[in-house]
Structure 1
Amino acid sequence: MAGQQEIQQYPILETARRQVLEQGVGLSEAELVEVLRLPDHAVPAALDLAHQVRLEHCGEEVEVEGIISIKTGGCPEDCHFCSQSGLFDSPVRGVWLDIPELVKAARETAVTGATEFCIVAAVRGPDIKLMNQIKFAIDRINEEVDINIACSLGMLTQQQVDQLASWGVHRYNHNLETARSFFPQVVTTHTYEERLETCAMVKEAGMELCCGALMGMGESLEQRAELAAQLAALEPHEVPLNFLNPRPGTPLENQQLMDGKDALRAIAAFRLAMPRTVLRYAGGRELTLGDLGTREGLLGGINAVIVGNYLTTLGRPAAADLNLLVDLKMPIKELQKTL
């Protein structure tokens, strides 16, 4: 644990100790920039403080989730980081997963101890066909598996939001991805405001909002702080933290991997921005942080993980993450059915 004297060496950490740890009030955008600019030798103190904040305001449990794609590839949007866009020369091709495979994946996810199973589709937004498949999948999964169901289906209409809520969808994922000021450099086929509209409807319908970040796309430190502050203002239940894994055929295929120390600074900053939010390890951590960095992040504010593979990239084996949680003496959150 970082000592009081060590924290006092860095005024921003002393501010965070008083404001975030003791009062539960997140840091401002300007203060987050200071955290992101801390020297390398101050990173352990920042992570330790973020871990104390997590324990104080979220508790010690870690939530485990699995994800699977019902429709992979062929998306009409031009998100520059995504190999599922049909506009890029990517090796990912359009594939639909049938319902028995979804049920099998949900069952396998539950066996790991996960409380959440997220169904994802690479679309701008769901059409009638996809909504019907989602309803059928939810019914079949609920018949056979005791797990909360989440969805990530792009931008929604009010009717679709209401349908998903009535079907018992526990949580909806719709990432902001990056700061408003950087967004036009990453996506041009839809706007930041359109994403915010879906997020607002999801919250108003009573579903938990999962709204994440993707870092390492060339944004500045100031823009990372901007994103953390914008997410804090949105007050999502959960924020997945992704780190760019440059995919062949995408506009960002030659982007350098984010520096591991910068990733750890970001983890600490996001926790100090959102003391009560679920911060979930998501894509790219295997490359950006490696095994040691993954461990440091779990002791630096992270309190949820996606286990197994992601949508188009391989993650760490589920057993590796689960064994790490045991090694760190972090209890896995038990299922509390909300459907």
Structure 2
Amino acid sequence: MNSIREIAADKAYERGIGLNQEELLEVLNTPEDQLKELLELAHQTRLRWCGDGVEVEGIISLKTGGCPEDCHFCSQSGLFESPVRAVTLDIAELVEAAKQTEKTGATEFCIVAAVKSPDERLLDQVAQAVAAILAEVDINISASLGTLTREKAQRLREMGVHRYNHNLETARSFFPNVVTTHTWEERQETLDNVRAEGMEVCSGGIIGLGETLEQRAEFAAQLAAVDPKEVPMNFLDPRPGTPFAQRPLVPVGEALRAVAAFRLAMPSTTLRFAGGTELVLGDDGTEAGLLGGINAVIAGNYLTTLGRPAERDLDIIEKIRVL
């Protein structure tokens, strides 16, 4: 019987076919003494199907806090006693943030709002922001504004938004333990609407919400079935005042196995380190992830938490280029 590394080498590396849920569970259970070889296989798969480039993205919140949803990990929910309070940015601030993002070498700038779905006022703000940014900054614009109807997706595409993020967050079977104010299926419907309107689909989630390894494998397989252009990999950063405030951090080895599993599930997808990376992995673990399947990062800060200074992210990327 072939080992999981032999199966992965044949399917993911040689043929660019993602592993199935059962195979991904084996990857997530890889013994410690085989982790280095697993990460090398994931890295070589990334190089073969994505090339050696590392994509950099900046992210900014147009509207922070006051969200009506109850995502148990999120300090932006207005339902929890978290320190985050509602704040909005004006257009000039967004343009300046896009300019600073471009200076890091980033090719992507994502506008985010903490809402269930964009209303007319927010869509008008986004339209103004996109027009102002594109007039002054040479950068691709993506957005993350909650659930979308087909009509709202069309309007965003016509504004010039080329990629839309809406995370599935976790496995379908575990989702009700994380969110109760909407369903996993609603999120999937938004991704269907995004794709139908010709925008690139960006969807990922958070590792360490309390899911089992079986559910983590389920999640990777479900994301692969969505076929996203980009998958942001977040690791839980327990936020004060949220229901998940006391959950433990994901151990480093477990986090790196998840990186490898997601790469072997989606050989040609842009796999991006996002929130919680610096907390869970530190600089050394981030470097290991970039040599273990990751090919994109969010540089600098996130929405409600501090990341590494963008310069340190860029230094790590430069370091792996010469290894």
Name the TM-score, length of structure 1 as normaliser: 0.94
- Which of 187, 191, 213 in structure 1 is aligned with 2:205? 213
Partners of 2:214 and 2:263 in 1: CA distance? 16
Name the structure 1 match of 2:82.
Answer: 90
Amino acid at match of 1:256: P
Name the structure 2 match of 1:4.
Answer: none
1:105-120 to structure 2, matched below 5 A, reads 105-120=97-112
Structure 2 unpaired stretches of 5+: none
Partners of 2:319 and 2:22 in 1: CA distance? 36
1:303 paired to 2:295: yes
1:172-321 to structure 2, matched below 5 A, reads 172-321=164-313
Shift of 1:261: 0.4
Name the structure 2 match of 1:162.
Answer: 154
Name the structure 2 match of 1:75.
Answer: 67
- The answer to whether the 8 A contact 2:150-2:197 is kept is no
Name the structure 2 match of 1:125.
Answer: 117
Partners of 1:222 and 1:290 in 2: CA distance? 26
Amino acid at match of 1:149: I
1:29 paired to 2:21: yes
Partners of 1:168 and 1:100 in 2: CA distance? 18
Name the structure 2 match of 1:58.
Answer: 50
**Count of paired positions:** 323
Shift of 1:326: 1.2
Name the structure 2 match of 1:13.
Answer: 5
Task: Provide the secondary structure at the position in 1 that maps to 2:321.
Answer: coil
Partners of 2:145 and 2:299 in 1: CA distance? 20
Amino acid at match of 1:316: R
Name the structure 2 match of 1:5.
Answer: none
Structure 1 unpaired stretches of 5+: 1-7, 331-339
Shift of 1:162: 0.5
Task: Provide the secondary structure at the position in 2 that maps to 1:289.
Answer: helix
Shift of 1:157: 1.4
1:99 paired to 2:91: yes
Task: Provide the secondary structure at the position in 2 that maps to 1:91.
Answer: coil
- Give 4+ residue runs of structure 1 displaced > 2 Å after superposition: none
Partners of 2:96 and 2:260 in 1: CA distance? 36
- The answer to whether the 8 A contact 2:25-2:213 is kept is yes
Shift of 1:213: 1.6
Q: Sequence identity, in percent? A: 63
Name the structure 2 match of 1:44.
Answer: 36
Root-mean-square deviation (CA, aligned residues, Å) is 1.2
Shift of 1:291: 1.0
Task: Provide the secondary structure at the position in 2 that maps to 1:328.
Answer: helix
